[in-house]
Structures are given as C-alpha cells and as structure tokens.
Structure 1
Amino acid sequence: MADTPIANTHQYEAWNGYEGRHWADHQARYDALNEPVTGLLLEAAALRVTDTVLDIGCGNGSVTRLAARRARQAVGIDLSAPMLERARATAEAEGLSHVTHVQGDAQVHAFEPASFDVAVSRFGVMFFADPVAAFSNIAGALRPGGRLAFVCPQSFDRQDQARVFAAVGRHAPLPDLTAVSETGPASFADPSRVRAVLSAAGFEGIEVRAVDTEQVWGRGPSDASAFLFGWGPMRHWLRDAPEDAVERAREAATEAFGAYATGDGVRLKMSCWLVTATRA
C-alpha cells in the first residue's frame, strides 16, 4: 500500500498493475528509451552538492540515482510498488545510501514543508488529477527560491510515434491521442497551460524550452513492435480487439517502425518541453 492517501486512483491502479510491472521488468530498456533527455533535465536543474532533491514520478529510479550522485540527498516518490522495488534494489546495489524512495501521490503527499532545494521530473507530472493542487503541494515542499525542472511531451502529432500509432489504428481501435485533455501524456503540450498551472501553484520565472531527442525503441522493427505491444496502454486499448486484428496491427507497427530502422536501432524523434521555474 502507498505511504500516503491517493488522489490519482486511476493512475495508482495502472502503475500497480501490468503497466507498472512492464516498466519494472524492462527497467534497462525504459531507462535507455528516456535517457536522451536526462542529461538536459539535470543540467537545467543545476544541482549542487549541498542540495536535497525530490524526484517526482521517479519510477525505476534512474533520475533519482543520478541526482544523488550530484547532490547531498535524493528522494524519489512514485505510485508504483513494482517500480519502487526495482528502484530500491538498484540504489542499494550501487551503494547509494543517501537515496530514499516513497510510495505516494505527489499531489497529496504530506511532504515536510520547505525541505527540498530542487524538484525534478522526467515525464512524471502529466497525469495529476488536479495539476494546480499537485504543483502547489510540490511548491510547499520546496524552500523559498527552490528550483523546479521537468520534461514533458509536446503534442502527439509532433512525435514520430504518431505514424506508428496511425498504422496500428488502421487495424484496431485506438483513442484519439491528439485530443486535448486536462490530464494525460500531452496535458502540458500547450506552453501557455504550463505557465498558467505553475503560476497558479506559486512558481515564478517560468521558462519553457523546446527540445528534440531520439528514442531507441528496439534493435530492429520486430523487436520495437513486440516492446510496444507489451506496453500497458497498448494492452489496455486492444484488450477487446479480435486476435486477428491485433496481429494485423502488430504487423503494421513492425512495417511502420521499419522506416526508422538504422544500423544503431530503431530511432524515433521525440519533441519535448524542458520546463524550469522557481518557488516564489
């Protein structure tokens, strides 16, 4: 069970079900997938050896561990018990005694007030049920002048993934991933919404910078397709689709991934926002 109350119950169920287990079972692969933005994120956070760092939506703990190597202490918070189990085991194996992991919902977790110098997140802030409440809670955990840095996706139609998903959608039903929503992967795709939410939550000096990176989805098209179809959301969307339709969708995804195959894996462009701000 989580250490604190949960506001984002749907996300709690997903990340403690097959989605969380898939991320935990493929720890190295997900870390490699998201690694290209990690250095940019930590550089933007401007970590110092005296800092105490909060990693929001820490998952398997890659960012938490890297932050800990630059700072005095790092705390990772996440909803997912399977991923936190991985995070704790990896931190212990790496001898990082100044890393702590908490299972909880950052929107409502009772952080000690003004106890962190920096809050960071790599793709972990888009799913809050109430973003203003969540970032207000995070702001309260930061010391006055404390820094916030996070990475979130731009709109789905700007991602190379969109072409792969379009191929899948011709054979099996998928949701409209380009639709604007208050919560979800692209909930901060509009920079004006990012600024509005953070301003309302007590942040200032808000900067939103466009960043393009490449993600390696697999060794080859078939490998990338198999990984995609094991991903939690894809399993959820296709759970009621006929088996033959799913197989056709998988073949279409493999063909679509082929357009991005290189001698160094299947590489898709991802367009993100790198956001920084300070607690007012």
Structure 2
Amino acid sequence: MRQIVNSQQFEAWNGEEGQHWSTRYDRWNAVNEGFNPLLLEAAAIGPGERVLDVGCGAGQTTRLAAGAAAKGSVLGLDLSAPMLARARALAAEEGLERIAFEQGDAQVHPLPTAGFDVAISRFGIMFFEDPVAAFGNIGRALRPGGRIAFVCMSDPARTEWVQVFDAVRAVLPLPPQDGGGPSGPGMFSLADPAVIHRVLGAAAFTDVRTEPVEAPGRFGRDAWDAADHVLGSGPVRHLASLLDPAGTDGRTGADRVRAALATALAAYERPTGVHLRTAAWLVTATRP
C-alpha cells in the first residue's frame, strides 16, 4: 500500500467489514445494482475509452465498464484488499483482460495524469476525509474534457431502508447512526446537492449536474433473511453491541435488533423477496 489518509476507512474495509462485503458481494450487489443502468448511461463509455472506477468494491461496475469499453481499459481502485481479491477473481472468471485493480486511497493514490477519459463510482465516493482533495486527484487523472459520473446517497428521508432503522430505534434504545454530513465522511456526506456543487467546483470540475434517482434493492428472501443480512454489516453490528448483553427476556442485543429489523422489514416482503427503495443523486461533471 502507498500513502493512506482515510485510516479509519482503511482499517474497516480491510477488517471485518471488508470480509463481510467480500463474502456477501452478491447480496450487496442485489441491493445496489438497480443503479447500474443509470450510472452507465450517464457515463456514456465509448468502446475505446479508458475508465477509472473509484471505490469499485468487488468490481461489478468495473466489469460492466469493461464490457462498454471493449477496446479500451478499466482500472478499479479501492481501499479494501478482501474486496479487490474478490474483484480480481470475478474478472478472471469472465475472461476480462483489459481490466486491472489497485488498492489505494483515491485522495492521494498516484494516478496517471490525464490517464483516463471517464471516472465512475457507485456509492464509493462519500467517505473521503477531504473530498475536495480526492475529487481534485481524480480530476487530474482525467484528460482535458474528461468526465465523471457517480451515484451517492441523497436525503435519507427518501430511502426506505433508513425508515426501517428509524422503526427499529422506536422500539430499541439505539443511538443515531452517524451517516456523515458536510463536515465529515459518511454515507450522507454528499446528500445536499449544494455540497456536491461546492466540492466539485472547488476541485475544478465544471458543468456539474445533479439528478434525483431511485432504484429498488433486494435485501433478502424474506424479512428474517434480510434482517440477518443487514445485521452482518459493521455499523449495525456496532449498534447492536451497544445494547445490554442480555435483556429481561434473555435475548442478546443482536437478537433483539434482528427481531425488530424483521418486524419492520415484513412490510416490504414481496413474492420475489424483500425490496426497499434507495434514493440517490446521479452526478455528472466535466474536467475543463
């Protein structure tokens, strides 16, 4: 690894959280892949273009970009070694040769100047300690006239899985989950479009556009399966650990959170599974 600025994110994504997402990559893809067509359409990747996928995770969007850039090349960049190992294995299974993956912090990773035509990201750009520096680094890696397209979380009130957590907090003494904001990294750090415009403008991008988009995600086969899946993620495990080890009924904090999640998720059960809507911004901008 080269220089790391996001040390807390590095520790999380190379520890239990990274292992969880790597092992359950297909489950998390099912949650987020509804945004893939929107992202790829906005990126408008040409067959000979060079693509940078920021926060690529297990590489689903990287592989899709490689399909669009059939005569070009794609680089997936991520902090997480476990997820990159999964990404490389999946790309090899598909026989993708013009695709590569690197472990690095997008804020400071030494990307080639003007080395890419387009940068993309699916929920991988909300966690920078210094977003202006990160987008500045990404911008310098784009050729003049190059472009960026990404999706990031928008107003949490418009997202159904956030409403599920609010329902859980109504019955259990859980503290608010830190989703970040304009003053720091987190899943909602770019939820305000004014912040997006300010950050990208300060990073020398122009023609910044934000479009509200929504997509359903499949969280599990049924409410209990979805509850188990969500409980496996680091933030929810942490919240569960803050409860008393055992309640008056003898159940652990994790048991009580699982039951409350399943109750709240039952309203979203369909014959095809548990589907919840996520609201996001689809953002595009240009490097002058």
Residue-by-residue CA offset, 1:56-106 (whole Å, 9 max, x unaligned): 000000000110111110000000000000000111111001110000001
Distance in structure 2 (CA, Å) of the matches to 1:137 and 1:162 = 32
- Partners of 1:157 and 1:178 within 8 A in 2: no
1:163 Cα shift?
Answer: 2.2
- Which residue is equivalent to 1:276? 284
**1:194 maps to which of 190, 193, 196:** 196
Range with greater deviation from structure 2 (177-186 or 63-72): 177-186
The Cα of 1:156 is off from its aligned counterpart by: 1.6
The 3-state SS of whatever aligns with 1:31 is helix
Letter of the aligned partner of 1:37 in structure 2?
F
Query: 1:223-263: per-residue Cα shift (whole Å, max 9, x none)?
Result: 00000100111112323422433322211110100011111
1:145 corresponds to which residue?
145
Asked if 2 retains the 8 angstrom alpha-carbon contact of 1:172 and 1:249, the reply is: no
Amino acid at match of 1:20: G
| Structure 1: distance between partners of 2:108 and 2:180 | 27
Q: In the alignment, which residue of structure 1 is the partner of 2:46?
A: 48
Code of the aligned partner of 2:18: G
Once residues 106 and 44 of structure 2 are traced to their aligned partners in structure 1, the CA distance between those partners, rounded to angstroms, is 22
Quote the Cα distance in structure 1 between the aligned partners of 2:217 and 2:51: 26
Match of 1:69, SS? Answer: helix
Partner of 1:238: 240
Which residue identity does 1:26 align to in structure 2? R
Question: Identity over the aligned pairs, expressed in percent?
Answer: 47
In structure 2, distance between residues paired with 1:143 and 1:107: 18
Structure 1: gaps of 5 or more residues: none
Judge conservation of contact 1:76–1:101 (CA < 8 Å) in 2. yes
Listed one character per residue, the Cα deviations across residues 178-236 of structure 1 (whole Å, up to 9, x for unaligned) are 77443100000000110010011010011100001111111100000000100111112
CA distance in 2, matches of 1:178, 1:75: 28
CA distance in 2, matches of 1:81, 1:179: 24
Residue identity opposite 1:254 in structure 2: A
Maintained 8 Å contact 1:41/1:274: yes
Which residue is equivalent to 1:155?
Answer: 155
Equivalent residue for 2:249? none
Summarize the Cα distance change of 1:15–1:176 in structure 2 as closer, same or farther, 3 Å threshold. closer
Q: CA RMSD in A?
A: 1.3
In structure 2, C-alpha distance between the alignment counterparts of 1:173 and 1:128, rounded to whole Å: 26
TM-score, normalised by the number of residues in structure 1: 0.96
1:177 deviation in Å?
4.8
Q: For the Cα contact (< 8 Å) 1:172–1:238, is it kept in 2?
A: no
- Asked if 2 retains the 8 angstrom alpha-carbon contact of 1:167 and 1:249, the reply is no
Counterpart CA distance in 2 for 1:245 and 1:141 is 46
Which has the larger displacement, 179-188 or 192-201?
Answer: 179-188
Q: Which residue of 1 aligns with 2:86?
A: 86
Question: How many aligned residue pairs are there?
Answer: 278
TM-score normalised by length of structure 2: 0.93
Unaligned stretches of 5+ in structure 2?
246-251
Alpha-carbon distance in structure 2 between the residues aligned to 1:74 and 1:172 = 45
Residue 249 of structure 1 pairs with residue 257 of structure 2: yes
Q: Are 2:176 and 1:175 aligned?
A: yes
| Aligned partners of 1:168 and 1:250 also within 8 Å | no
Q: Which moved more, 1:153-162 or 1:238-247?
A: 238-247
CA deviation map 1:7-63 (0-9, x unaligned): 100000000011110100011111121110011101100000110000000000000
* 1:219 aligned partner: 221
Match of 1:73 in 2: 73
Of 224, 227, 230, the residue aligned with 1:228 is 230
- CA contact 1:171–1:245 (8 Å) conserved in 2: no
- Aligned pair 1:22/2:31, yes or no? no
Q: Give 2:16's aligned amino acid.
A: Y
